[in-house]
């Protein structure tokens, strides 16, 4: 593995250096002294050690728009796996966005990494970003411990997290599959899921939590055998006919849907738009352009 300058003493650089036992560049963000190359997109392939199982299409779409406007600002980290073929270690979302933006090539940093280094760097780089799902994060911790014999203390120090955070996230892997699926789909939060671990019937309780919209504190109480009262639905307030008429008049005036929500003191006037052109039109009117 190529040696480089000592990383700045913060965050992942120090932690990863400690885990690998040698000075390394912290992640794809730090490339001091390394040459940036531009490679055709078709010569790159997704990493085998990518811990992320799900890519948000909305996030990819947002990144694609940014790439169209500004290009790829941060090089991808890759390694050569065959003649003229490269595997992505960090930056798969940028690669996907570049394809959607119809770019022909992307900036990369090519590193010489063996399988162990590639796996460990990919896992830690993604965990450090803190945008993995709870189960993806937990699985990343498990792989680092099982495949590299790291302790929870080492991982916590390397990633700038508490040992209790690492331990609590890994406990999620003990949930039944139906509950894990609810967590993966966003129906439950990690807080809900941790509370369910103490329940004798985590699946049944999870279904109740989702159907009744219970918060974490209520879930904890139920898991301990207590009872919670279902929140009473607020009475539906009929909108005043004068307010409805005013909404209609304003909507006709500006050509966009307008809603008025009254409160005890004052209220909220909302203008709904479908695209940026419509928003620009509203701003133009308000600014007198």
Q: Could you give the residue numbers annotated as active site? A: 92
3-state helix, strand, coil in the chain (%, to 5): 50, 15, 35
| DSSP string for residues in 55-66 | --HHHHHHHHHH
Half-sphere exposure of residue 267, counting CA atoms within 13 Å on the CB side? 9
Beta-carbon neighbour count of residue 86 at 10 Å? Answer: 19
E strand or H helix at 85, and its extent? strand 85-90
Question: Rounded to an integer, what distance in angstroms lies between the CA atom of residue 211 and that of residue 231?
Answer: 12
Q: Are strands 76-82 and 85-90 parallel, antiparallel or unpaired?
A: antiparallel
| DSSP string for residues in 109-126 | EEE---HHHHHHHHHHHH
**CA of residue 212 relative to chain centroid, distance:** 26
């Amino acid at each position: 593995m190529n040696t480089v300058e000592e990383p700045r003493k913060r965050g992942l650089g120090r932690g990863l250096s400690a885990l690998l036992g040698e000075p390394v560049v912290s992640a794809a963000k730090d490339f001091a002294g390394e040459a940036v190359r531009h490679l055709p997109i078709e010569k790159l392939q997704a990493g085998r050690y990518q811990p992320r199982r799900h890519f948000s299409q909305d996030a990819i779409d947002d990144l694609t728009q940014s790439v169209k406007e500004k290009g790829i600002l941060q090089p991808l980290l890759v390694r050569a796996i065959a003649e003229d073929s490269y595997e992505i270690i960090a930056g798969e979302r940028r690669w996907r966005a570049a394809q959607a933006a119809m770019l022909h090539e992307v900036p990369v940093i090519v590193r010489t990494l063996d399988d162990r280094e590639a796996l460990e760097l990919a896992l830690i780089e993604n965990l450090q970003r803190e945008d993995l799902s709870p189960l993806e994060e937990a699985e990343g911790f498990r792989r680092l411990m099982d495949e590299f014999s790291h302790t929870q203390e080492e991982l916590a120090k390397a990633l700038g997290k508490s040992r209790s955070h690492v331990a609590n996230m890994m406990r999620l892997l003990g949930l039944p599959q139906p509950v894990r699926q609810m967590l993966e789909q966003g129906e439950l939060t990690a807080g809900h899921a941790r509370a369910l671990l103490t329940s004798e019937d985590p699946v049944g309780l999870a279904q109740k939590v989702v159907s009744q919209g219970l918060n974490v504190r209520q879930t904890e109480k139920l898991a301990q055998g207590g009872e919670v009262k279902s929140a009473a639905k607020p009475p539906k307030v009929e909108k005043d006919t004068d307010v409805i008429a005013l909404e209609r008049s304003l909507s006709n005036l500006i050509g966009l849907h307008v809603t008025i929500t009254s409160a005890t003191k004052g209220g909220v006037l909302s203008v709904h738009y479908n695209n940026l052109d419509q928003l620009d039109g509203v701003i133009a009117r308000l600014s007198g352009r």
